[in-house]
Amino acid sequence: MRPRRSSTLGDDPLAAVFPPSSTGPAAHQEVPRSARAITVGVSLDPEVLERARNAVYWTPGLTLTALATKALAAAVDDLEHERGQRFAARAGNASLRRPVGELGASPQDPAPHTI
């Protein structure tokens, strides 16, 4: 592992107001590869993104990644609660695209009967 480079900006001017956490990456601890964030591309509603950026700006220590992770985890928890069970693990690197079917049909719906 490469040694951490020192900042060219010197001491953190906000350290007196918001002391660094004693846990997590900010404390210069090694983060296991499995715990590192994975970058994904998503399209967001511009108004929602602007609200999220404002929330991050006005909340000391909050990052857009942390906010998105928390929100996505809450959304998945809600979906699992509605269905009454956790989602099963995908097999291998299955496509994350929506299953092909009729417009409005959910993956659990049986195929429509035709005459």
- Of 81, 88, 56, 84, the closest CA to residue 70 belongs to 56
Region of 84 (left: φ > 0; alpha: ψ -120 to 50; beta: rest) is: left
Q: Are 52 and 67 in contact (CB under 8 A)?
A: yes
pLDDT of res. 106: 57
The tens-digit pLDDT sequence of the chain (115 residues) is: 566 666 566 666 666 666 666 554 444 555 565 577 788 899 999 999 999 999 999 999 999 999 999 999 999 999 999 999 999 998 877 666 776 665 555 555 555 544 4
pLDDT of res. 107: 57
pLDDT of res. 17: 66
Region of 68 (left: φ > 0; alpha: ψ -120 to 50; beta: rest) is: alpha
pLDDT of res. 10: 62
pLDDT of res. 27: 46
Q: Are 31 and 38 in contact (CB under 8 A)?
A: no
Helix (H) or strand (E) holding 54: helix 46-58
Tokens of 42: 């998503």
At 100 the three-state DSSP class reads coil
